[in-house]
Amino acid sequence: MSSNSAAALLPSVAAPFYRAVGDEVEVFLAAARRSAPILLKGPTGCGKTRFVEAMAHELGRELITAAGHEDMTSADLVGRFLLKGGETVWVDGPLTRAVREGAICYLDEVVEARQDTTVVIHPLADHRRELPIDRLATTLRAAPGFQLVISYNPGYQSVLKSLKESTRQRFVAIELDFPPVETEIEIVAHEAGIDTATASALVGLGRAIRNLDGSPLREVASTRLLILAGGLVAEGLSPRAAARSAIVRTLSDDADVVRALDELVDAVLPRP
Amino acid sequence: MSSNSAAALLPSVAAPFYRAVGDEVEVFLAAARRSAPILLKGPTGCGKTRFVEAMAHELGRELITAAGHEDMTSADLVGRFLLKGGETVWVDGPLTRAVREGAICYLDEVVEARQDTTVVIHPLADHRRELPIDRLATTLRAAPGFQLVISYNPGYQSVLKSLKESTRQRFVAIELDFPPVETEIEIVAHEAGIDTATASALVGLGRAIRNLDGSPLREVASTRLLILAGGLVAEGLSPRAAARSAIVRTLSDDADVVRALDELVDAVLPRP
Amino acid sequence: MSSNSAAALLPSVAAPFYRAVGDEVEVFLAAARRSAPILLKGPTGCGKTRFVEAMAHELGRELITAAGHEDMTSADLVGRFLLKGGETVWVDGPLTRAVREGAICYLDEVVEARQDTTVVIHPLADHRRELPIDRLATTLRAAPGFQLVISYNPGYQSVLKSLKESTRQRFVAIELDFPPVETEIEIVAHEAGIDTATASALVGLGRAIRNLDGSPLREVASTRLLILAGGLVAEGLSPRAAARSAIVRTLSDDADVVRALDELVDAVLPRP
Amino acid sequence: MSSNSAAALLPSVAAPFYRAVGDEVEVFLAAARRSAPILLKGPTGCGKTRFVEAMAHELGRELITAAGHEDMTSADLVGRFLLKGGETVWVDGPLTRAVREGAICYLDEVVEARQDTTVVIHPLADHRRELPIDRLATTLRAAPGFQLVISYNPGYQSVLKSLKESTRQRFVAIELDFPPVETEIEIVAHEAGIDTATASALVGLGRAIRNLDGSPLREVASTRLLILAGGLVAEGLSPRAAARSAIVRTLSDDADVVRALDELVDAVLPRP
Amino acid sequence: MSSNSAAALLPSVAAPFYRAVGDEVEVFLAAARRSAPILLKGPTGCGKTRFVEAMAHELGRELITAAGHEDMTSADLVGRFLLKGGETVWVDGPLTRAVREGAICYLDEVVEARQDTTVVIHPLADHRRELPIDRLATTLRAAPGFQLVISYNPGYQSVLKSLKESTRQRFVAIELDFPPVETEIEIVAHEAGIDTATASALVGLGRAIRNLDGSPLREVASTRLLILAGGLVAEGLSPRAAARSAIVRTLSDDADVVRALDELVDAVLPRP
Amino acid sequence: MSSNSAAALLPSVAAPFYRAVGDEVEVFLAAARRSAPILLKGPTGCGKTRFVEAMAHELGRELITAAGHEDMTSADLVGRFLLKGGETVWVDGPLTRAVREGAICYLDEVVEARQDTTVVIHPLADHRRELPIDRLATTLRAAPGFQLVISYNPGYQSVLKSLKESTRQRFVAIELDFPPVETEIEIVAHEAGIDTATASALVGLGRAIRNLDGSPLREVASTRLLILAGGLVAEGLSPRAAARSAIVRTLSDDADVVRALDELVDAVLPRP
């Protein structure tokens, strides 16, 4: 179904636009056949979400997404009783819906959530494939096709917030990074709707920022930011103006850093 | 619709009084056409709110505003069920109203809110343009015209409170600063209802404070404070008395700083 | 309506007893005409509350007061639904009452409250003069005469608890201090109901304490404390006994400090 | 009504057994006539509660007591709605009862409570003598005779927990300490029901402990502890056994300190 | 009723098996006659609970126990309203039951509970012997026989969690320790159901561990652990295997410490 | 029933696949006959859960499991009232179910839960074998067969989170570790469904990682991870690709560590 080459192109008819970079597709599909949960690692904006969308399309399964945050509790994933017109009605959370429907459940940055949210996935992440729902006094068996995927960004996790080892050692890990230069140009041009020359210039800027020595930036210019800048060019801004807003000032608030990056923009991008 | 010059004047008939300083108008409108969310940066009182009001007028869209604070939760933005006379009634929050009505939603200093408030805007800030409302068990698709704008003040954000990178890299950033001197005089005179000479003296005081070497002030004298002082002059106070109350003592509680600034007031402003 | 002199006496018929020290009366009235909110600064017991009472009397408006504390939430200011005999009844908070009735709302030490309490006053503190009440799904427009006054004591605010700059820069600041010696004697004699000689002795003690070099006291002897001591004298205690209880032991728990202040009391006050 | 001598004995018919040590009785009564609230300071077990009981008896007023703790909220003082058989019933807290009935309200160690509890007493502690009860949407005027007394123990208050200055400067402070030796012997003999010789020996032990150089004890042997030990003697224990349990092991958990105090017990108290 | 000897045996017919070590029985009974509350100190597993059971049997009173923990609130002790089939029903907590029934209330490690739990026992711990129950708007007078006993373990109390002095100084303190060797052998043999020789070997091991120089253990081998090991021997394990599981690995997780203790086990206990 | 040899094989008909390593089976069964609770220690993924499953099968009892987390409260273990269609229904928690049914209750990593969860098991962990359920105002006596097992991982417990000594000293401790090499190869081959040669290679890799000098890893490669990697091989991935995902990237996020481990993978595992 998928070749072993580094840039295997997934079927493109109506499929999400995704270009494989390593063996991430093979690993994902093997883990899915094994029903092993997947831990997706990689920097912000490198395409983790798009990769999962492509895999869901490839497997023909629904994709249900939830984004973790530090106030998220297990009820946000599992569901809760709500009051409606005097009646209490149970409403499934995204995890429960995925369990019932055999969908892929993608928990984005779940490590930031409270620990009860990670413990609730334990019995789903081993051979049991069960979701106990205390408040319904029941236990759901995951439908065939249910696949758990969690992501996190190792680059800025705090020491305090990390996956418990007993959670982590249940997952097959896949590490993504920014794509190679030709692939990234193709992606930026396609997503932003600009020509290859402009996309190439923006990707050149992005790579120059990623290669800065001793960079004070917490995160580098992601593929997503390059697409955002490309979109402003498509709306009529000059590449320099687009890069100043969608890349430089999005990346940093520090006046010195902003000035240095603005100079880099002027050096790399064509005069309007 | 808008020229490229630095001080393009927006249509003034019934429009909010706003004078562009850089290319902020062009970037805002391009991002709005692209439905890309906007991150507005700049010091307190430099005119961020007024700029958004002007853009809403220019685009002919309603403006809905909410101010972030450290106790704000996602329910404050999305809505909640309220008890009224024994009935539970759902009341939309400001974000939900903007999503339904295709309005501009301006979240002021949202970075101070709890993290669930920023995560709730993720699916609104990318190609999905969706707002999942768990408690209604529904997902709203944003009406055309919905535009998300968030602001924050890089000058005094704490290290603990900063936008998550995965949130931040979804935004086009626009950085505002205090206007050039002639523009600021025009603004102060117009808003406070005083003559140009007095406005010019107050702006001179404001710029002298902004240029203090090694200033111990956390924030400088903003355009808003100059307008506030001008208003007290319009009510009959001397410029010096107005500046002592509306500028000096608003800026600092430190006795030494207050004394130094009072001397600066006496040096810069005319004797009554 | 009010002269420019430093000690303008407010109309005394049934008015609260207040003696102006600087131009605080003029600034208050100008800000009130401009509907600009007022930030009142000054040490504990210097007369902030009495000053606001006098201004409310001068302007002929009702005065509604609330004292901030670290557990205060916006509901304490705005109002909440209460259960009464099975019915839910909305009860206005002090801020809402003032907004409806066009009263002066005096928020004492509001900086200690939780941040949602300060954000709720933002739209009341600029040109909008609105109070959004989420739980009623309504927005109140402030009645004419509504005037916001907040106080705080710069002397012992913690670093963690300070007004947000974006809140602070909406206010005209008025700084109060203890009155000059003759004024303070007059106040103590009047309020405590004692003769001028005794009042003069107590004021002398108060000033001696305020002028202590390298004082270990967190706060000095306020006018309020001098009045309290005077009241005990009026009830028959000797001035020294009154000062030991109402001043020395109220100011300090430290045995060494108490002994030193007791000696100061014996040196300054007449033998019984 | 009460003499000026240091050991004025209060009327003893059915009155609580209290022996005045300084001018605390005069100051209390003067403050009560002035309706000034009272701050009672002194070490654990020196007789603060007994003193207030004696004053309540002297003034012929009811005494209502509440002990502060770090989880106490204003509702614990003011009252709350309770559900009873499906009905919501308002139940006055101790402060509200005292306000309605004109009683003495004694708040023991109130400084440990949450800050909203201290702010709620502000309007009761100045000329207003009012208690606003938000949840009843009413304001009570204190009945004649209402007197507020708060106590705290300066010896072990933490830096984090101290009375706000703006609260503290509303009170007349009275400082109590352990009574002089003859008085203490009389108290211990009377309260424990033992002879003067045994009481004298126990008081001797107590004073020896209080005078230890460089004592590692957080608190010394209070009059209350001496009475407790005396009570065990009255029940048949030897004075040494009683002191080891009711004094030494109550004061310290440290093995070395306990051994040293046991030796002191053997040196001071008679062999059984 | 009880002799003064160090090993007074309590009546043994159906009584809990307890062997007195010092004068703890006399002190307990004297305090009980005086209705003075008792503070029981001693290391984990030395027999505090068993001692209280024996005293309850001796006095012919019911024993009601509650174990403190850091989330315990006063409602856990006093009681609360519960919803049952739409009705609200009051359920007494253990303290309230003891107060009503004149039982001994034993609060194990109550120092770990939240402070409101210790304050609630104040009026029960002095001459008042009252339990105010706010939520019932009533005050219970303790039935005759009500006796308060609290325990704690000085060895591992944190600095943050200690009894307030004003609570502590209401109690008569009794300090327990592990029993002398002959007594301990008798206890282990009796409780575990093993012969005296094996019990003697286990007690020898326990004493060797207690006497380790510079021990890295937080707690030593308690009598309870020796009984637990003895029980495994009674079930067929060798003494060495029993000691490795029930003593060594229960006491420490540190590999070096476990190895050293295993060697001690081999040196002290007979080869199987 | 079970031999004393180190690798006693449990009955294999339909039984969970478990291979004993030391005397853990004998200790477990002796403690179970004694009704003594068991504390199971060992690194992540070494087979603690599987061991308990095997013991439950051996004893013919139901196994009920709950995983601790830092937000777990006693209600999560004991049960709570839930609203269902307007009715309140009590739902047993896992601990209560085990108590009623005489099952084995396995609390995984319960040390991470809030302290009230550990205190609730005290009366179940000694001779009383009772579970008081406050909210039902009842006390359950454990059915015969009820057995409490708790596990924790000494390797990464924080100092703040450790079992209270008074809880810990009620348990018989069993320490597990990774199995010997031949046993581990058999386990990996059986569980992953791969041949012995591949299992042997993976186990060799796991042991090489466990023996790294000065390893920066928080946890080593557990038996569980080796099985996970084996499963990917069974799905068609090369052993190296499987190890890179299921072992290396699961163990570490650090680029240097990942590179070093990848080199180790290439050195140890056969070329595909």
Q: Identify the residue among A72, A73, A166 best suited for mutation to test binding to F, counting F beta carbons within 10 A and taking the highest.
A: A166
Give chains near B: 3+ CB pairs under 8 A: A, C
User: What value does the mean pLDDT of chain F take?
Assistant: 85
Higher pLDDT, C80 or C170: C170
Q: At what angle do helices A24-34 and F223-234 cross, to 10 degrees?
A: 100
Q: F72 by DSSP, 3-state: which?
A: coil
Q: Distance of CA C205 to CAs A130, C255, C269, Å? A: 77, 19, 7
Q: What is the DSSP string of E114-134?
A: -HHHHHTTGGGSSTT-EEEEG
Which residue of C191, C228, C251 to mutate against D (max D Cβ within 10 Å)? C228
* Chains C and B: 3 or more CB pairs within 8 Å of each other: yes
Nearest to C249 among D122, D134, D173 (CB): D173
Verify whether the Cβ–Cβ distance C250 to D171 is below 8 Å: yes
Pairing of strands E104-108, E87-92: unpaired
Yes or no, beta carbons of A231 and B34 under 8 Å apart: yes
Neighbouring C-alpha atoms within 13 Å toward the C-beta of F28: 28
Chains F and E, touching by 3 or more CB pairs within 8 angstroms:
yes
- Determine the length of chain B: 272
User: What is the C-alpha radius of gyration for chain A, rounded to an integer number of angstroms?
Assistant: 21
Of residues A19 and D235, the one with the higher pLDDT is D235
**Residue, of B10 and B180, whose pLDDT is higher:** B180
To test the contact with chain A by mutation, choose from B34, B90, B150 the residue with the greatest count of A C-beta atoms within 10 A, namely B34
Beta strand C147-152 with C38-41: parallel, antiparallel or unpaired? parallel
Q: How far is it, in rounded angstroms, from Cα A132 to Cα A139?
A: 4
pLDDT at B45 (0 to 100): 87
- Rounded-to-integer distance, Cα A166 and Cα E247, Å: 27
Write out the DSSP string of C135-195: GGTEEEEPPTT-EEEEEE-GGG--SSS---HHHHTTSEEEE--PPPHHHHHHHHHHHHT--
Count of C-beta atoms within a 10 Å radius of residue A165: 20
Nearest to C250 among D39, D81, D115 (CB): D39
Are the beta carbons of B211 and B246 closer than 8 angstroms? no
Q: Distance (Å, rounded) from C-alpha B24 to C-alpha B18?
A: 12
SS3 A236: coil
Residue E85 pLDDT grade (very low, low, confident, very high; cuts 50, 70, 90): low
The mean pLDDT of chain E is 85
In this predicted model, what pLDDT tens digit does every residue of B93-121 receive, in sequence order? Answer: 999 999 999 999 999 887 777 767 777 88
* Chain F nearest C-alpha distance from E34 (Å): 30
Sign of CA dihedral A46, A49, A52, A57: negative
State residue F160's pLDDT score: 45
What pLDDT does C111 receive? 73
pLDDT band at E12 (very low <50, low <70, confident <90, very high): very low
Q: Which chains would you list as touching F if contact means 3+ CB atom pairs under 8 Å?
A: A, E
pLDDT tens figures, E17-32: 898 889 999 999 999 9
**Does pLDDT of F96 surpass 80?**
yes
Question: What's residue F3's pLDDT?
Answer: 36
DSSP per residue over D128-155, as a string? T-EEEEGGGTEEEEPPTT-EEEEEE-GG
Closest alpha carbon to F38 in F168, F181, F205: F168
The conformation of residue B155, written as its DSSP 8-state character, comes to G
**With 80 as the cut, is the pLDDT of residue A117 above it?**
no
Check D134 against C76: CB less than 8 A apart: yes
Q: Copy the structure tokens of residue B199.
A: 């406005």
| Residues B41-52 pLDDT 10s | 988 889 898 999
Q: How far apart are the first and last CA of chain E?
A: 46
Interatomic CA distance for residues D228 and D239, integer angstroms: 11
- CB contact under 8 Å between E171 and D44, yes or no, is no
**pLDDT given for residue A185 in this prediction:** 97
Decide which of B15 and D43 is more confident. D43
Question: Lowest mean pLDDT: which of A127-131, B158-162, D78-82?
Answer: B158-162
Q: Is F108 helix (H, G, I), strand (E, B) or coil?
A: strand
The secondary element (H helix, E strand) that includes residue A182 is: helix A181-192
- Residues A249, B165: C-beta atoms closer than 8 Å: no
E-chain residues near F88 (CB < 8 A): 83-86
The full DSSP string for F143-159 is PTT-EEEEEE-GGG--S
Give me the mean pLDDT over the A45-73 stretch: 88
**Backbone phi and psi for residue F240, each to the nearest 5 degrees, phi listed first:** -65, -45
Question: What's the pLDDT tens digit per position in C65-76?
Answer: 888 777 777 888
Considering only CB atoms, C249 lies closest to which of D41, D81, D166, namely: D41
In this complex, the residue of D30, D39, D88 whose CB is nearest that of residue C83 is: D88
Asked if residue D51 has pLDDT above 90, the reply is: yes
- Out of B124-128, B262-266, D25-29, E134-138, pick the least confident: E134-138
Secondary structure element (H or E) that encloses residue B38, with its range: strand B38-41
What is the spatial distance between Cα E156 and Cα F165, in angstroms, rounded to a whole number?
Answer: 9
CA distance E51 to E177: 12
Predicted confidence (pLDDT) at residue A236 exceeds the cutoff of 90: yes
Mean pLDDT of chain B: 85
Distances (CA, A) of C124 to B66, C40, C127, C244, D140: 13, 17, 8, 45, 30
Residue D133 contacts by C-beta under 8 Å, 6 or more apart in sequence? D78, D79, D96, D139, D140
Distance, in Å, from the CA atom of D175 to the CA atom of C251, rounded to the nearest integer, reads: 12
Question: F15-33 burial, b if ≥16 CB within 10 A, otherwise e?
Answer: ebebbbbbbbbbbbbbbbe
Distance from CA of C83 to the nearest CA of D (A): 8
DSSP strand pairing (B147-152 vs B38-41):
parallel
Q: How far apart, in whole angstroms, are the C-alpha atoms of residue E91 and residue F102? A: 28
| Percent of chain E surpassing pLDDT 70 | 86
Using DSSP's 3-state secondary structure scheme, residue B247 falls into: helix
Beta strand pairing call for C147-152 and C104-108: parallel
Q: Tell me whether residues B245 and C118 touch, CB distance under 8 A.
A: no
Taking CB atoms and an 8 Å limit, are B245 and C115 in contact across chains?
no
Q: Report the interhelical angle of A196-210 vs A255-268 (nearest 10°).
A: 140
Determine the pLDDT at residue F162. Answer: 67
Residues of D in contact with E23 (CB under 8 A): 241
From D118-122, E63-67, F12-16, F137-141, the region with the lowest mean pLDDT = F12-16
Average pLDDT over residues C250-267: 92
Give all chains having 3 or more CB-to-CB distances under 8 Å with chain A.
Answer: B, F
Residue E79, strand partner residues = E92
Residues of chain E with C-beta less than 8 angstroms from the C-beta of D68: 119
Q: Which amino acid is at A139?
A: T
**D91:E173 CB<8 A:** no
Q: How much is the average pLDDT of C123-133?
A: 86
CA–CA min distance D34, chain E (Å): 30
Q: Which two tokens stand for residue E256?
A: 């070096």
CA E15 to chain CA centroid, nearest Å? 17
pLDDT-derived band at C200, boundaries 50, 70, 90: very high
Nearest to C169 among B45, B69, B82 (CB): B45
E184, E203 contact by CB (below 8 A)? yes
Residues of C near D (Cβ–Cβ under 8 Å) read 44-45, 65, 67-72, 76, 82-86, 91, 93, 108-109, 112, 153, 156, 218-219, 222, 224-225, 228, 231-232, 234-237, 241-242, 245-246, 248-250, 253, 258
Report the pLDDT averaged over residues D223-240: 95
In Å, how far are A92, A136, E78 from F81, measured between CA atoms?
20, 11, 20
- Nearest-by-CA chain C residue for B227: C170
In the three-class reduction of DSSP (H, G, I as helix; E, B as strand; rest coil), residue D161 is classed as: coil
Measured distance CA(C250)–CA(C254) in Å, rounded: 11
In this prediction, residues D158-176 reach a mean pLDDT of: 77
Decide: B153 and B42 in contact? Cβ < 8 Å. yes
